[in-house]
Structure 1
Amino acid sequence: MDEEPKTRKAYREAQKHSQSQASERDKKRVQVEREYAREQRQKRHGKMQPNGQFDDITYKRVTGLKKKLNWAIGIVIVLLIIVFLVLAFV
Structure 2
Amino acid sequence: MIPVDLTTPIQAHGEELRTLELQDPTFEQIQKLGTPVSLDGNGNFTINTQTAFKYIPELAGVPPSSLKTLSAYDLNNLCWAVWRFFMTKQQESQTKS
Which structure has greater helix proportion? 1
* The two structures share one fold, judged by TM-score above 0.5: no
Q: Normalising by structure 1, report the TM-score.
A: 0.21
Q: Normalising by structure 2, report the TM-score.
A: 0.20
Higher relative contact order (CA 8 A, sep 6+): 2
Which structure has greater strand proportion? 2
